[in-house]
Amino acid sequence: MKNFIETCCNECWHTNENPCEQFVLCCTEGPLCHQNPECKVKFQNLNKELLYQKHDIPVIFIGMGTCGLASGAEKVKEAIEAELTKLNIEARIVPTGCIGFCAREVIVDIKVPNDKRVAYCEVTPKDIPELIKTAIIEKKILDRKFLGIHGEGDAGHISIDQVPFFKRQHKIVLEKCGIINPDSIDEYIANGGFKALDKALRIMTPETVVKEVKDSGLRGRGGGGFPTGMKWEIALKQKNDKKYIICNADEGDPGAFMDRSVLESDPYKMVEGIMIAAYAIGASSGYVYCRAEYPLAIKRILNAISKCKEYGLLGNNILGTDFSFELKIKKGAGAFVCGEETALIASIEGKRGMPKPRPPYPSISGLFNKPTVINNVETFANVTSIINKGAGWLNSIGTKASKGTKVFALSGNVKYSGLVEVPMGVTLREVVFDIAGGIPDGKEFKAVQIGGPSGGCLPESVMDTEIDYESLKSVGAMMGSGGFVIMDEDTCMVDVAKYFLNFIKDESCGKCVPCREGTKRLLEIIERIPTAYSEKTNKLEQLQRFKGIMHMQRLADVIKDTSLCGLGQTAPNPILSGLRYFREEYEEHLYERHCKAGVCKELLTYTIDNDICSGCGLCAKKCSVEAIVGDKKMPHYIVQEKCIKCGMCVETCRFEAITVN
Amino acid sequence: MLELTINNIKVKAEEGMTILDAAKSVGINIPTLCHMKDLFPTGACRICVVEVDGMRGLTPSCAYPVMEGMKVQTNTPRVRIARKTIVELLIENHPQDCLVCVRNKNCELQDLSETYNVREHRYCGEKKEHAIDISSASMERDPAKCILCGRCVRTCGEIQKIGAIDFTNRGFYSTVTTPYNIGLNVSDCILCGQCILVCPTAALREKSSSKEVMNAITDKKKFTVVQVAPAVRASIGEEYNLPLGTNATGQLVTGLKRLGFDRVFDTNFAADLTIMEEASELINRVSNGGTLPMFTSCCPGWVKYIEQNNPELLPHVSTCKSPHEMEGAVLKTYYAKKMGLKPEEIYVVSIMPCTVKKFESNRAELAIDKLQDVDAVLTTRELVRLFKAAGIDFNDLPEDKFDNPLGDSTGAAAIFGTSGGVMEAALRTAYFKLTGTELANLALEEVRGNDGLKSSTIDINGLEVRVAVVNGIGNVGPVLEEIKNGTSKYHFVEVMACPGGCINGGGQPIHQKPEKVKKRVQALYEIDSKMKNRRSHENESVQKLYKEFLIEPNSHVAHEVLHTTYVDRKKILSNK
C-alpha cells in the first residue's frame, strides 16, 4: 500500500465512487471491514511511514512556504539534491509549509532512520555540504545551524518547543504547519485528519455540531469577532433548498499572512473545517475566496480539493452518508474591501466588490440570496479541533469572553518576525518581548500596530493589555485578522498614520460618501502636517493646514459613525489612536515643524558641523541642487532654501560632519 | 403592526417598513440621495442616517427595517453634524459653478447645502477631473458633477435593464461611466434619458439645441415651424407651478408664437397620420401573411434598442416613421409645395418630452433628398428655459389654437403620450377599417395603467387580434425571447422605452414624485375623452392630406414620405 485509496486486499471494496462509511477510521485503524493480520500490518506500516516513524532512508524536510521560498528554499533544495547525488546518498526530500519562524528561514529538518527529527535554521546553499556531512553521514547535530529537536530534547540540544519563540505559543491552528507535507492527504489522515468530519457525519446531528461550536465560545477570527456558533445557528434555522458556505481567504491587511501560511502549510485542516460547517448548516456548495496574489496557497487548495474528491471526501454521499458537498475556489482580484463579507459575496456573484447594507445578514440572505455562512481560514481551522476535542477543551483556553488562541503575524522592527499562535489573554508585552525577542539593534520600542490598517497604534503604556477582543477595543485597537506590526523609536507616528490612511483611501470601494470622500480629506489633512514653512508658502495653504487640524476629529468621528462597512467605520483608527497616544508628536510636527524620528523629509534640517568639516568639497560635488557652498579646505555650509533633503551629502561625507534633525 | 418611537413620538408601522417610511408617516422628513422607491436600498449616500438606541454607529434609515420598541432620533446634534459633514464632503468634490449650471435652483445637492446651512469650505483638497462626454446626439455626461449616488446606474440597469453605465475605479476616483469609458454614442445606451430624470445634479443632462433654434428663428431666410408632442402639454405647467395635470395646450401655442415661430403645429396631427399608416400596415401584415407580431415604431429609444440588440428582429418593426418625423416630412413636401416654399427654407423644430428624438432627428434614414425631416428637437425643459429667457410668463398667457392644416387632431392622437395609447388609437382605426363599424368601447382599460407588460385580445370580425403593450424597455426582454422561440402569440405589440410612455420621457420636467406622472396621464386621457373626434381616421385634415397628396395609406407616395428603414446597429457598434 502506498496510500489510503489503495485497497489492502481483494476483500476491501472501498472506491471513491462507492465510499465506505468507515473510511477515515479504517485508514488509521484498519482494516475494519474484514479481519486479516497481513492487512493490519500493511495499514500500520503505511501509517508509520506517513508519520515518519518508520523509514529506511534519511528524510529531509524543507520549509517551502512563501517565506521559505523568499529566503531561498528553492536554492537550498537544489543544493541538497546536488550534494546527495554527489555523495551518492539516497534520501527523501519533503517540502513542508511554514513552521512560523519566518525570520529564521530557510528551515531544514533532517531525520535519519531511528533518530529524532532535528530542525536547522537560516540554512543557505553554502551550509549544505557541512549539514549533510554532519547530520546524515556522521549522524550528529550541526550546532552552528541548530534550532531545536522535534519531540524531547537531549543534553545540549533543546526541544523545539523550548525555543523562546515557540515556548509561549499554544498551537491549535498551526499545529501541523511546517511539520507535514501540505500536499499529502495521506499524511493529513495519518495525523488524525478527517476524524472530526467523520465524527460529525456519523454520530452528530447538524444541531449538535452547531451547539458544540457555540459552546466552545469560538469567535470569528477574521476581525469582527462574531460568535461563530451563533452565525451557524441562524443559517441552520433557515429553510432553503440551497445554502452556501464561504471561506474568506482574502487576507488583505498589510502585514498579515496568517491565512496564507495555513493554506500553504495545512490546507486540509481548513477544508475539513469548511465541510463540518457545511454539514452543520446544511450547505451543499462552498467557495474558498482566496486572493490571486497567493499563487502557492491557491495551488495547495486546488490540490487539496482534487485529492478530497479522489478520496471520496468531497462530492456526493460523503463517507456513505446523505451529505453531499462541492467546494470551489474563487480567486479575488486583490481588493481589500472584498474581505468584507457582503462585498466578497458580490464579488463571487460576479459583481463589483461593494458592500451592501445589513440586514439582511448573509446567514439569512447571502450568496445568490441564499443563506450563507462566511468564516475565515483560521476560524474553520479551529472547528476541526473543536469537534475532535470537544467544546469544553477550547473553552478552557483563553479569557472569559475570548476563547481559544489567536494567530498573529509579527512583522516590523522586531527581532523575530513570523507567525505565532498564542492563547487569548497573553499580554502584548509577552508577544513583543518574550516571543518575538524585542527590538533589534538596541533601539527603543515605540508602538505596536495591531488589527491591520484600520487597527490602532498602541504605545508602551498599554503593553500589559491582555490580548482579547474587548481589551484591544478598549485601548483603541482591534483584534482584526491578526496583523501585528512592531515599530521602534525611528518610526514617526504621523507618517505611520499617513501610510495606513493612504492604504485605506486607495482601498475604499467608493460606494459610501464618508469613506470615499472622507478618507481622502483626512489623508490630505495629515499630509499637510509634515510640510515645511517658507516665506514663499501660499497663505491659503497655511490656513488649510491649521483648519484641517481643527476639523480632523470631527471628520474622523463622522466617518466612523456613518460609513457603510467595517472598512470605513474603522478607517480613522490610525489617526484616532495616534491622537490618543502620541498627541505630542502630532503637535511637534504641527507647531514646531519637527519630526523627532527623522522620517518626515520636509521637516528635516541638514547641517554641517564646522568643527568636523575638513572642506574636502566632496558633498558639494555630489549635491544635485548645488545647495552646499564653501571654499576649499574651509568648512562648508548648506543653503537651506535650496536643500531638497535627499541625504546624499550624509552618505558622501567621510567625516560624519553632517547632522540631520 | 409594531410600535416604535421616533423623536419620542409613538409610531405604528408595518413589519418590513423602513425607518425612513415610518418617520415620513408622522411628518418627519429625512433627507435622501441614493434612495429609490421600490428598489432594494444600496445605503450608499449615508445622508439619511439616524440615531437608534443601542446601535454603535448611526443607522441609514432608508435601509433599516423598523423593529418593535425601537427608539429612533432623527434630529440630534450627532445626526445633524453627520449629515452636514456628508453634504460638505460632497460639495468639496463638486464643481462650484452653480451660477452657470443647467440645474441651478433645481439641484438636490444645492437643496441639501441650504437645508444644512453649509457656509464654508471645511475640507478643501483635490477635486476630481473629468472630460464631459458630448459624444451622443441627445445627452451629455459630466462626471465631475456626479456625486455617485448611483440612481442613474440603477435606473439604467435595474429598471431599463440596459446597463450602459456603471461604477468604475475605486475610492476617491470612482466614476460612473460606460464600459471602457467609451462615448455614449458608441455604448449600449439607447439615450432614453431616464437617468437624467433621476440625477440629483447636472451630471447627466440633455444636449441643448436651443442656440440653433433661436438662430433659426432670427434667420429671416428661414420659415420656422414648430410642432409639439402630446406629452408636453400635460407636463409643462409643472414648471410654472400650475396644478399637476393641467392641460396647457393654449398657453403653449401662444408662447411658441411669441417666441417667434412662423407656424405652430401639433405633432398630434401626425399621430393621427401615423395611425392611418400603421393600422393599414398591420391589416396588411395580418391578411397577407406578413411578419408578425408587428412592433410599433413611434419610440426612437425602442427602435435604437432593437437595432442594437436584436437586429434580426427588425422586420417585425413597423416601417412607419415616428409622428414628429412624419410631420416634418409632410411639412417639407406637401406643405412646402402648398406654401410655395423650398423644402430647405423650412426649419422644423420639435418640442418633445424625449431625449432620443434628438438622436432620431439626425438619422440619415429620416431625410428626403438628404434634407432631414426635422431640423432640431427641444425637450420640454429646454423650451421652458427659452420661455424664461424670452420673458414669457405662462401664468398670464392667453390661450391660442394651433395653426392649420397640420394642427388638427383627434383624441386618439392625444393618448400617444402614454403607455398603451398608440395601441388604443391603432385599434380604434383598425377595427373600423376591418369592420366598417366603430368600436363601441373606446377606452381599452386592459392596455392602460402602469404594469410592465399589458395584453389584451380584441375580436375583430371573428378574428382574434392579440395585442401587447410593453411599458418600459426593461420589460421587452421576455416578448423578444418569445418571438425568437417562435412562441409569441401576439399580432401587434406597442413598445415604449420610458416607463409610463412619453409622458415620463427623459426630456420632461425633472421631478422625484411618481404621482406627478399619474396626473400627467390623467390629463391626456381627459383630452381624449373630451374630444369630438376620438378616432384618427376622423381627422379631416388627415383625410384631406390623403386626398390631395398621399392618395391612400401605404400608397407609393406614402411610403416615400412616411415610411423608413432601419439599420443593423449591432454590427456598427461591434466595429467600433
Residue B497 in this model has a pLDDT that exceeds 70: yes
* Chain B interface includes A524 (CB < 8 A): yes
Give the mean model confidence (pLDDT) for residues B385-394: 93
Burial class (CB in 10 A: 0-12, 13-18, 19+), B305: buried
Nearest CA to CA, how far is A286 from chain B (Å)? 26
Can you tell me the distance from the alpha carbon of A416 to that of A434, in angstroms, rounded to the nearest whole number? 10
Q: Is B360 one of the annotated active-site residues of the chain?
A: yes
Grid cell 392630406 — which residue?
A: B545
Torsion angle defined by CA atoms of residues A363, A366, A369 and A372, in that order, rounded to the nearest 10 degrees: -60
CA pair distance B72, B59, nearest whole angstrom:
9
Catalytic (active site) residue B361? no
Burial, A535: exposed, middle or buried (Cβ in 10 Å; 0-12, 13-18, 19+)? exposed
pLDDT tens, position by position, B28-39: 999 999 999 889
Q: Inter-chain contact A563–B45, Cβ cutoff 8 Å?
A: no
| DSSP-derived 3-state class of residue B224 | strand
Choose between B513 and A595: higher pLDDT. A595
**pLDDT band (50, 70, 90) for residue B576:** low
A109 pLDDT above the threshold of 70 = yes
Q: What is the ipTM of this complex?
A: 0.92
* Residue-wise pLDDT tens digits, B192-224: 999 999 999 999 999 999 999 999 999 999 999
- b/e map A118-152, b = 16+ CB within 10 Å: bbbbbbebebbeebbebbbeeeebbeebbbbbbee
Q: Give B-chain residues touching A514 at CB under 8 angstroms.
A: 46, 85-86, 89
Summarised one tens digit per residue, pLDDT across range B222-238 is: 999 999 999 999 999 99
Cis status, amide bond into A360, omega within 30 of 0? yes
Percent of chain B with pLDDT over 70: 99
> CB-CB: which of B47, B126, B172 is closest to A516?
B172
Work out the average pLDDT over B7-13.
96
- Pick from B54, B85, B128, B72: nearest CA to A560: B85
- Residue holding cell 453634504? B87
What is the CB-side half-sphere exposure of residue A20 using CA atoms within 13 A? 20
Residues of chain B in contact with residue A563, where contact means CB-CB under 8 angstroms, are 46, 57
Chain B residues lying within 8 Å of A564, measured CB to CB = 43-44, 46, 60
Nearest to A513 among B89, B123, B169 (CB): B89
How long is chain A? 661
Average pLDDT, chain A: 93
Q: Which pLDDT score is estimated for A35?
A: 86
Smallest Cβ–Cβ distance between B89 and the set A352, A508, A514 belongs to A514
| A81 vs A36: CA distance, rounded Å | 40
Residue appearing with cell numbers 456573484: A349
Beta bridge partners of A450: A456, A484
CB contact under 8 A, A357 and B169: no
Query: For residues B446-455, b (16+ Cβ closer than 10 Å) or e, as one string?
Result: bbbebeeebb
Asked if B228 contacts B248 with a C-beta cutoff of 8 angstroms, the reply is: no
**B101 has pLDDT over 70:** yes
Where is pLDDT greater, at A154 or B414? B414
CB-CB under 8 Å, A357 with B42: yes
Phi-psi bin for A336: left (phi > 0), alpha (psi -120 to 50), beta?
Answer: alpha
pLDDT digits (tens, 9 = 90+) for A171-192: 999 999 999 999 999 999 999 9
pLDDT digits (tens, 9 = 90+) for B433-471: 889 888 888 778 888 989 999 999 998 888 889 999 999
Residue A330, φ and ψ in degrees, nearest 5: -125, 120
Instruction: Please choose, from the candidates B255, B156, B348, B84, the residue with its C-alpha nearest in 3D space to the C-alpha of residue A513.
Output: B84
Q: List, for residues A49-89, the tens digit of each pLDDT value.
A: 999 999 999 999 999 999 999 999 999 999 999 999 999 99
pLDDT higher than threshold 90 for residue A155: no
Tell me what pLDDT residue A156 has: 87
Pairing state between β A637-638 and A628-629:
antiparallel
Active-site annotation holds for B235: no
User: How far apart, in whole angstroms, are the C-alpha atoms of residue B318 and residue B290?
Assistant: 11
For the cut 60, the answer to whether the pLDDT of residue A94 exceeds it is yes
B320 is catalytic: no
Phi, psi of A598 (to 5 degrees): 70, 30
